[in-house]
Amino acid sequence: MAVSDSPGGPYVDTGSVLVDCESNRLRSILSFRDDDGQWYFFYSRNFTNAEPGVHIGTGIMVDRLIDMTHLAGDCHVLCAPL
């Protein structure tokens, strides 16, 4: 995770890992605030045939953000490969 005082940077690596990129094969990220003010963290990841019952391809995941540097740890698949 990287932080900055300005959206334009410069950004500094905090050394903190929000999502384990290696095991989740992280592809892209987006934070979104719901109407109730709750923030959510969306990301796409690759699924492989190493996962039983899952088709190979890219899916979309979501988890609730406790704050801007910590996930709730209750990740859900929103869209899985067909």
Residue-level pLDDT at 28: 63
- What backbone phi and psi angles, to 5 degrees, belong to 22? -70, -50
Q: Is the pLDDT of residue 51 over 80?
A: no
Count the neighbouring beta carbons within 10 Å of the beta carbon of residue 8. Answer: 7
- In this model, does residue 54 exceed pLDDT 70? yes
> What does the pLDDT look like over 13-45, one tens digit per residue?
888 777 665 555 556 677 888 899 999 988 888
The residue ranges of every structural domain in the chain are 20-79
Cβ–Cβ under 8 Å, residues 11 and 3: yes
| pTM to 2 decimal places | 0.65
pLDDT (0 to 100) of residue 1: 74
Residue corresponding to tokens 């992280």:
26
Given a cut of 60, is residue 8 above it in pLDDT?
yes
3 by DSSP, 3-state: which? strand
